[in-house]
């Protein structure tokens, strides 16, 4: 028993790696390019979960892997440590997705089993050097609690993350690429390359821009100058003048005539509540039968006649297979016995086998 303890302890180290799988299988770019996460080779033979990325802070601090971690691997796909620069060059050769105008990117997160679920945390390296990361805003999250979802099994979940305003991407050959990293609490996920595209023009207004806009407001509309807001100081060069309100003269009110009687407010009598309709709606029959064929009266029933042999002229209401030709046929008289085969002959007839002609 003592010899099995080292084996069990060694197996427990690799247990989370073998039971949890999730990675970025696709990124839907605004430029029409659908790229994949780093380390994904969809043309390799094997199971899809072999492209799972394992990104744990423990391994990153130990120096065994880089900030993008390593790939789990499979039978025909050996595991390896990711080289972010080589993966970035590979992504630039095949095409890099760009984010939308609002700075968001829609990703497909493949979850192999419950332990690879959400929630996911996404950040990015603006210069693609992976020396520092900035947080991203995850707007559409993957279902899960602490990385576990019992219902997850070989399913692709949408994951949407957005860059905050004033984000910049200065990496890659074109100096316009970022490296995005998304992983769950257990350390499973992927890195991917992204470009801002049209979202690079989106920037948050700075304080200097706001002050300049308020300072130019009186010049644009001189007849109605606008005073600065309390938290913004007025410009000493051209201080805005507050508008002087014109004196208002009250209009004369004529005195009431003595003969006129005071008008009382008209009181509207409350209408008595309608009695609730008890029973079906009288228009229900018309509404239900709208478009139906006109009503036809039932066929006239013939009087019931029982013949001497006991057969009625009406079919039994419970017999759906009633045939009037067979029902009107009188049965055999009770005095006549039905002819049957001799028991011996019947037994021989039933068990007699046909001869085989050779």
Q: What is the pLDDT of residues 127-148, one digit of tens each?
A: 999 999 999 999 999 998 988 8
Give the C-alpha separation, 55 to 65, whole Å: 8
Instruction: Give residue 243's pLDDT.
Output: 58
Give CA–CA dist 167/98, Å, rounded: 14
Confidence grade of residue 114 (pLDDT, cut at 50, 70, 90): confident
Torsion region of 86: left, alpha or beta (phi above 0 gives left; psi -120 to 50 gives alpha): alpha
Q: Does domain 18-201 have CATH number 3.40.50?
A: no
Please, which pLDDT band fits residue 162 given cuts at 50, 70 and 90? very high
Domain parsing of the chain, residue ranges? 18-201
* Mean pLDDT within 74-99: 93
- pLDDT, residue 226, reads 42
**What pTM was estimated for this model as a whole?**
0.53
Residues 11-35: tens digit of each pLDDT? 333 334 445 588 999 999 999 999 9
* Residue 340, pLDDT above cutoff 60: no
- Confidence band, pLDDT 50/70/90 cuts, at residue 119: very high
Please say if the pLDDT value at position 167 is more than 50: yes
**3-state SS of 103-114?**
CEEEEEEEECCH
Query: Mean of the pLDDT values across residues 306-324?
Result: 66
């Amino acid at each position: 028993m003592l010899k099995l303890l080292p084996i069990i302890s060694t197996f427990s180290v690799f247990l989370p790696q073998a039971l949890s799988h999730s990675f970025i299988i696709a990124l839907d770019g605004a430029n029409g390019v659908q790229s994949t996460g780093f380390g994904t080779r969809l043309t390799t033979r094997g199971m899809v979960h072999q492209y799972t990325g394992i990104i744990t802070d423990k391994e990153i601090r130990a120096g065994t892997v880089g900030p993008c971690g390593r790939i789990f691997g499979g039978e025909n796909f050996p595991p390896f440590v990711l080289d972010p620069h080589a993966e970035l060059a590979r992504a630039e050769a095949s095409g890099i997705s760009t984010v939308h105008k609002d700075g968001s990117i829609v990703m497909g997160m493949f979850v192999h089993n419950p332990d690879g679920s959400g929630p996911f945390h996404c950040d990015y390296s603006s210069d693609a050097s992976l020396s520092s990361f900035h947080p991203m805003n995850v707007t559409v999250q993957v279902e899960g609690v602490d990385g576990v979802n019992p219902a997850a099994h070989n399913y692709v979940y949408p994951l949407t993350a957005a860059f905050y305003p004033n984000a910049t991407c200065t990496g890659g050959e074109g100096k316009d690429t970022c490296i995005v990293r998304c992983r769950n609490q257990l350390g499973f996920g992927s890195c991917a390359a992204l470009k801002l595209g049209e979202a690079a023009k989106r920037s948050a207004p700075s304080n200097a821009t706001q002050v300049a806009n308020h300072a130019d407001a009186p010049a644009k509309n001189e007849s109605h100058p606008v005073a600065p807001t309390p938290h913004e100081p007025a410009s000493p060069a051209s201080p805005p003048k507050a508008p002087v309100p014109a004196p208002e003269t009250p209009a004369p009110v004529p005195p009431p005539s003595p003969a006129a009687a005071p008008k009382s407010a008209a009181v509207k009598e409350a209408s008595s509540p309608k009695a609730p309709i008890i029973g079906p709606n009288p228009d229900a029959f018309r509404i239900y039968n709208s478009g139906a064929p006109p009503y036809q009266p039932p066929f006239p029933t013939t009087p019931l006649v029982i013949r001497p042999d006991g057969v009625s002229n009406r079919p039994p209401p419970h017999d759906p297979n009633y045939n009037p030709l067979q029902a009107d046929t009188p049965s055999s008289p009770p005095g006549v016995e039905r002819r049957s085969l001799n028991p011996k002959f019947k037994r021989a007839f039933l068990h007699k086998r046909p001869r085989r002609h050779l």
